[in-house]
Amino acid sequence: MNDQNAARACGIDFGTSNSTVGWLRPGQDSMLALEDGKITLPSVVFFNYEEDYARFGRAALAEYMEGYEGRLMRSLKSLLGSSLIDSQTEVQGKALSFRYLLKLFIQELKLRAEAGAGRDFEQVVLGRPVYFVDDNPQADKLAEDTLADIARQVGFKEISFQLEPIAAAFDYESNIQKEELVLIVDIGGGTSDFTLIRLSPERRGHDERRGDILATGGVHVGGTDFDRQLSLHGVMPQFGFKTRLRNNAEMPSSQYFNLATWHTINFAYTRKAWMDLQDVHRDAAEPQKLDRLFKLIQERAGHWLAMEVEAAKIALSDQDSHRILLDPIEKGLSCELGRLDFEDSIAGLLDRVRATVGKLLADAGLKADAVDTVFFTGGSSGVPALRAGVRALLPNAHHVEGNLFGSIGSGLAIEAKKRYG
What confidence score (pLDDT) does residue 309 get? 98
Region 271-299 average pLDDT:
94
State the Cα–Cα distance between residues 361 and 182, nearest whole angstrom: 11
What confidence score (pLDDT) does residue 392 get? 93
3-state secondary structure of 358: helix
State the Cα–Cα distance between residues 59 and 293, nearest whole angstrom: 28
| Dihedral pair phi/psi, residue 400, rounded to 5° | -130, 135
Segment among 45-49, 81-85, 327-331 with least mean pLDDT: 81-85
CB atoms within 10 A of CB 173: 22
State the Cα–Cα distance between residues 253 and 259, nearest whole angstrom: 10
DSSP 50: T
What confidence score (pLDDT) does residue 1 get? 43
State the Cα–Cα distance between residues 386 and 362, nearest whole angstrom: 20
Per-residue pLDDT reduced to its tens digit, 102-149? 999 999 999 999 999 999 999 999 999 999 998 899 999 999 999 999
State the Cα–Cα distance between residues 374 and 397, nearest whole angstrom: 6
3-state secondary structure of 52: coil
> 330 pLDDT exceeds 80?
yes
Region 362-380 average pLDDT:
95
Domain with CATH 3.30.420.40 in the chain: 179-222+351-400
Tell the CATH superfamily of the 179-222+351-400 domain.
Answer: ATPase, nucleotide binding domain (3.30.420.40)
3-state secondary structure of 36: coil
Nearest to 146 by CA among 204, 195, 205, 101: 101
Question: pTM for the whole thing?
Answer: 0.91
| Dihedral pair phi/psi, residue 317, rounded to 5° | -70, -25
What confidence score (pLDDT) does residue 293 get? 97
215-231 exposure pattern, b = at least 16 Cβ within 10 A, e = fewer? bbbbbbbbbbbbbbbbb
Contact 228, 190 (CB under 8 A): no
Contact 56, 76 (CB under 8 A): no
What confidence score (pLDDT) does residue 84 get? 87
Pairing of strands 70-74, 44-48: antiparallel
What confidence score (pLDDT) does residue 258 get? 96
DSSP 90: E
> 4 pLDDT exceeds 80?
no
Contact 1, 407 (CB under 8 A): no
What confidence score (pLDDT) does residue 3 get? 65
User: In the Cβ-directed half-sphere of 363, how many Cα atoms lie within 13 Å?
Assistant: 16
Show the CA angle centred on residue 415, arms to residues 80 and 112, nearest 5°: 60
Region 68-95 average pLDDT:
89
Report the mean per-residue pLDDT for the chain: 94
